[in-house]
Chain A
Amino acid sequence: MTGAGTWSIAEDDHRKITEHLAALLQESQARCALVVDRTGQMLANAGDALKFDPAAFASLTAADFSANDQLAKMIGEPEFASLFHQGEKESMYLADVARRAILVVLFDQRTTVGMVRLKVKQTVTDLSRVFEEMFGRASQGGGAKAPGLLEGAEDEIDKLFGD
Chain B
Amino acid sequence: MSMINYASREINCKLVYYGPGLGGKTTNLEHVYTKVAPDQRGKMVSLATETERTLFFDFLPVDLGTIRGFKTRFHLYTVPGQVYYNASRKLILKGVDGVVFVADSQVERMEANVEAMQNLYDNMAQYGYDLTKVPFLIQYNKRDLPNAAPIKDLQAQLNPGWPVEDPAKQKPAPDPWHAGESLVFQQDGAWVERAPYFEAVAVTGEGVFETLKAVAKLVLITLG
CB closest residue in chain A, given B127: A4
The number of chain A residues with a CB under 8 A from chain B is 42
Q: Is the interface of B mostly helix, strand, loop or mixed?
A: mixed
Stretch at the interface among A22-30, A121-129, A154-162: A154-162
Among B6, B14, B56, point to the contact of A8 (Cβ < 8 A): B6
A55 touching B61 in the complex, CB below 8 Å, given contacts A67-B88, A67-B91 = yes
Q: Is A91 an interface residue (CB 8 A)?
A: no
B1, B47, B216, B221: most-surrounded residue (chain A CB, <10 A) = B1
Cα A67 to Cα B91 with chains together (Å): 8
Q: Once the chains are docked, how many angstroms separate the CA of A25 from the CA of B177?
A: 52
Q: How far is the CB of B123 from chain A (nearest CB, A)?
A: 13
Minimal beta-carbon separation of B110 from chain A (angstroms) = 28
Give the Cβ gap from B18 to chain A, nearest Cβ, in Å. 15
Chain A residues within an 8 Å CB radius of B134: 2-4
For B12, the chain A residues whose CB sits under 8 A away are: 41
Decide if A66 touches B213 in the complex (CB within 8 Å). no
Majority DSSP secondary structure for residues of A touching B: mixed
Cβ of A7 under 8 Å from chain B: yes
By a CB distance below 8 angstroms, the chain A residues around B214 are 161
Structural contact, B67 and A39, CB atoms closer than 8 A: no
B-chain residues with CB within 8 Å of residue A130 when the two chains form the complex: none
Bound Cα distance from A9 to B64, whole angstroms: 21
Contact with B4, one of A9, A37, A158 (Cβ below 8 angstroms): A9
17 chain-A/chain-B pairs, Cβ below 8 angstroms: A4-B14, A6-B223, A9-B4, A9-B5, A14-B5, A15-B7, A37-B95, A56-B43, A63-B92, A149-B223, A150-B68, A150-B221, A150-B224, A153-B67, A153-B224, A160-B65, A160-B220
Beyond the given pairs A3-B129, A149-B224, A156-B68, 10 more chain A to chain B contacts, judged by CB atoms under 8 angstroms and listed by A's residue number, are: A4-B96, A4-B97, A8-B3, A14-B8, A63-B56, A149-B68, A150-B223, A154-B221, A158-B217, A161-B213
